[in-house]
Amino acid sequence: MPAEGRLLVLGAGTMGAQIAQQAALHGVDVHLVDVSADQLERGVAQNRRLLEGRVAKGRMAAEEAEAALSRVRTSGDLPAVAPECSWAIEAIVEQVDAKRRAFSELDRYLPEEAGIATNSSTIVSSRLATATRRPQRVCNMHFFHPVLVMDVCEVVRNPQTTDGTVADAVDWCGRMGRQAVVIEKEIDGFVVNRVLGAASREAFTLLTGGFASFSDIDVAVRAGLNWPMGPFMLADFSGLDTVLNVRRDRASRGNDPGDRATVALLEKLVAEGRLGRKAGRGFYDWSTTPPTPLPLPE
């Protein structure tokens, strides 16, 4: 039997590392697994900086931060740690084939009764569940970036997900200090990103159609809709490589010229290493305060 309540998070990128840390902040023991030792080191270092920031601001005691950091154990050996876990959250790259391989491996090594959730915001779990022998124990648990700040998690059932699996996912959200929103049927974008995606797609259409600059669109959205940031600054914040994967997947399943124009623009930016805030440059130069709009590639 697995250790009671132990969580496995697969993928130590920004989302995976913070999902693991969010659980640990609420007393959950976590195995954070990644094939890259360097990525594991970066994820742990990022979490340490975030918690040390809370300590510096008086929002957390140093002892509490150290205890939370110690609850996240890192490993590159999935077969060794998976049998100890009763739930898994996959948070690797937004690519269906890679996620299907990950789900197959998780299915192979997790206890039979364990559930498997994908953190994907765009890939519904029915596209991954068939890579396992437990499709009824598969769902989406979509956390929002930054996980340590954003309170909500979208729990999305696929046609084979049982009520018990949904209840378990909701329970895990609660144990991790996050509010669950249940989406009863799969749909592209779920709830939050469906609303946000419609606005973002329209913003990119306005940009690629030459109607307005991305910086003016961002100003219009911030000032006119009272959003905390515009769609292009948000894309930088999310990572343009991640946004590109999402838009490529959408473009491959549709026939919208706007999607193709958006993919072409994002491909140029990513090819130049302009990945957004994490790289220091995307639509904006993040070395300045506030970030400065950069020229778009030809």
Residue that finishes a domain, picked among 183, 216, 241: 183
Does 107 lie in the same domain as 40?
Answer: yes
Which amino acid belongs to residue 264?
A: A
Does 52 lie in the same domain as 118?
Answer: yes
Q: Compare 83 and 249 and report the one with higher pLDDT.
A: 83
Does 293 map to a domain? no
User: Does pLDDT of 5 surpass 90?
Assistant: no
Does 204 lie in the same domain as 141?
Answer: no
Does 201 lie in the same domain as 94?
Answer: no
Does 2 map to a domain? no
Does 205 lie in the same domain as 137?
Answer: no
Question: Which one is catalytic: 47, 86, 142, 215?
Answer: 142
| Annotation says 142 is catalytic | yes
Does 224 lie in the same domain as 179?
Answer: no
Residue that finishes a domain, picked among 183, 211, 232: 183
How confident is the model at residue 4, as a pLDDT? 56
Tell me the residue range of the domain where 139 lies. 7-183
Does 202 lie in the same domain as 179?
Answer: no
Does 123 map to a domain? yes
Does 259 map to a domain? yes
Q: What is the CATH number of the domain that holds 140?
A: 3.40.50.720
pLDDT in tens, 220-278: 999 999 999 999 999 999 899 989 988 898 888 877 777 889 999 999 999 999 999 99
* Average pLDDT of every residue of the chain: 95
Question: Which one is catalytic: 120, 140, 154, 238?
Answer: 154
Question: Which one is catalytic: 119, 121, 158, 215?
Answer: 121
Question: Which one is catalytic: 75, 104, 193, 213?
Answer: 193
The H or E element containing residue 33 is strand 30-33
Does 54 map to a domain? yes
Please give the average per-residue pLDDT across 46-73, as a whole number: 98
Helical ranges in the chain per DSSP H: 14-25, 37-56, 62-70, 78-81, 96-109, 126-129, 163-175, 192-208, 214-225, 231-238, 240-252, 257-271
User: Does pLDDT of 1 surpass 70?
Assistant: no
Q: What is the CATH number of the domain that holds 244?
A: 1.10.1040.10
Q: How many domains does the chain have?
A: 2
Residue that finishes a domain, picked among 126, 149, 183: 183
Does 22 lie in the same domain as 107?
Answer: yes
Task: List CB contacts of 101: < 8 A, sequence separation 6 or more.
Answer: 131
DSSP state letter for 10:
E
Kindly indicate the confidence band of residue 3, based on its pLDDT and cuts at 50, 70 and 90.
Answer: very low
pTM for this prediction = 0.80
Does 241 map to a domain? yes
Does 230 lie in the same domain as 162?
Answer: no
Please give the average per-residue pLDDT across 56-71, as a whole number: 98
Residue 91 CA to residue 12 CA, distance in Å, equals 8
Please give the average per-residue pLDDT across 53-78, as a whole number: 98
Does 179 lie in the same domain as 33?
Answer: yes
| Annotation says 90 is catalytic | no
